[in-house]
């Protein structure tokens, strides 16, 4: 088969045909030209990012022999992701999550700090402006689900308590939905509180349950096409902040959940899997709350915050 046939075939049929030396030279020349176009970028970090992105993107296109139809599908996919994204739904965060890019970025930026709590993905449902609750308050705010008592401390890596640390907490209800997924603009299943003088905290929420990430958009179609589940393991979100210490975004997961090994966004870390003790109705409650006829759960989670990078 001659070189012209090879070159023409590779633009339409993907990886089925070999690449001629002439075709390889054409492709490599384009890579060099595009890289050179960013050579004069004033910001050295932006220059590094753009040139490295070009190298990897072109390498991907060349390795898989991307067809024009496949490229058009990719553009359509990204356009659809943009159209469905709103201030209450972030499809691009969802895409980053299911590709493992969010988790890998966290791995790169949160190197192992001795004794510090491990970080994981923020997810697409964090929003600013959550209500403040006191220690012992209830962030569920009427959302459906089993009551759950969460308590613990916040310390630094030297074991010193961190008073006044801010804890943002958010979660889905037992229907598998966050408040922002409802149409009535109510706030439930999210709040923030501050640790006491000894770094302690406690609050009521809902016992975490499994739920699917939003899969009615382009990311859902991608998961379906690749035979992947949209389900997330049961979890509770946290963001911990304190002066002089590194902001921590993390979850805690429920021990025994069958989805721990197949979490759709790869967010599970073994150190964050905890036993949620289940208590039948009538069991004494830590703060004396009245839960007539209701079962409840309880868990302890102690945060350890790393020093802020210099």
**pLDDT tens for residues 98-143?**
999 999 999 998 876 678 999 999 988 998 999 999 999 999 999 9
pLDDT for position 115? 85
CB-based contact 105:98 (threshold 8 Å): no
Cβ burial of 42 (10 Å; 0-12, 13-18, 19+) is: exposed
pLDDT at 33 over 60: yes
Tokens of 47: 């220059």
Specify the CATH number of the domain 91-305: 2.60.130.10
Q: How many Cα atoms occupy the beta-carbon half-sphere of 124 within 13 Å?
A: 24
Range 173-199 average pLDDT: 95
CB-based contact 192:168 (threshold 8 Å): yes
pLDDT for position 99? 97
d(CA 249, CA 46): 26
| Helix, strand or coil, per DSSP, at residue 199 | coil
pTM (2 d.p.): 0.86
CB-based contact 154:161 (threshold 8 Å): yes
What 8-state DSSP symbol labels residue 252?
E
Domain with CATH 2.60.130.10 in the chain: 91-305
CB-based contact 42:56 (threshold 8 Å): no
């Amino acid at each position: 088969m001659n070189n012209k046939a090879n070159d023409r075939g590779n633009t339409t049929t993907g990886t089925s045909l070999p690449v001629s030396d002439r075709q390889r030279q054409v492709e490599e020349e384009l890579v060099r030209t595009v890289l050179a176009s960013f050579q004069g970028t004033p910001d050295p970090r932006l220059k590094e990012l753009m040139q490295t992105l070009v190298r990897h993107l072109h390498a991907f296109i060349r390795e898989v022999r991307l067809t024009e139809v496949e490229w058009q599908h990719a553009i359509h996919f990204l356009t659809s992701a943009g159209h469905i994204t709103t201030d209450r739904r972030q499809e691009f965060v969802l895409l980053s999550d299911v590709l493992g890019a969010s988790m890998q970025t966290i791995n790169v930026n949160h190197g192992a700090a001795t004794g510090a709590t491990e970080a994981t993905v923020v997810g697409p449902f964090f929003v600013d402006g959550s209500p403040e609750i006191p220690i012992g308050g209830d962030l569920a705010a009427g959302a459906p689900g089993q009551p759950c008592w969460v308590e613990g401390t916040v310390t630094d890596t030297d074991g010193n308590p961190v008073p006044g640390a801010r804890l943002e907490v958010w979660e889905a209800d037992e229907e598998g939905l966050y408040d922002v997924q409802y149409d009535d603009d109510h706030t439930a299943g999210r709040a923030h509180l501050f640790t006491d003088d000894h770094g302690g905290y406690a609050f009521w929420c809902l016992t975490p349950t499994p739920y699917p990430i939003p899969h009615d958009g382009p990311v859902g179609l991608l998961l379906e096409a690749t035979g992947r589940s949209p389900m997330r393991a049961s979890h509770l979100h946290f963001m911990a902040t304190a002066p002089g210490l590194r902001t921590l975004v993390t979850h805690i997961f429920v021990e025994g959940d069958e989805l721990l090994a197949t979490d759709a966004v790869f967010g599970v870390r073994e150190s964050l899997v905890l036993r949620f003790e289940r208590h039948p109705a009538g069991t004494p409650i830590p703060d004396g709350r009245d839960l007539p006829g209701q079962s409840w759960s309880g868990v302890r989670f102690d945060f350890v915050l790393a020093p802020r990078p210099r």
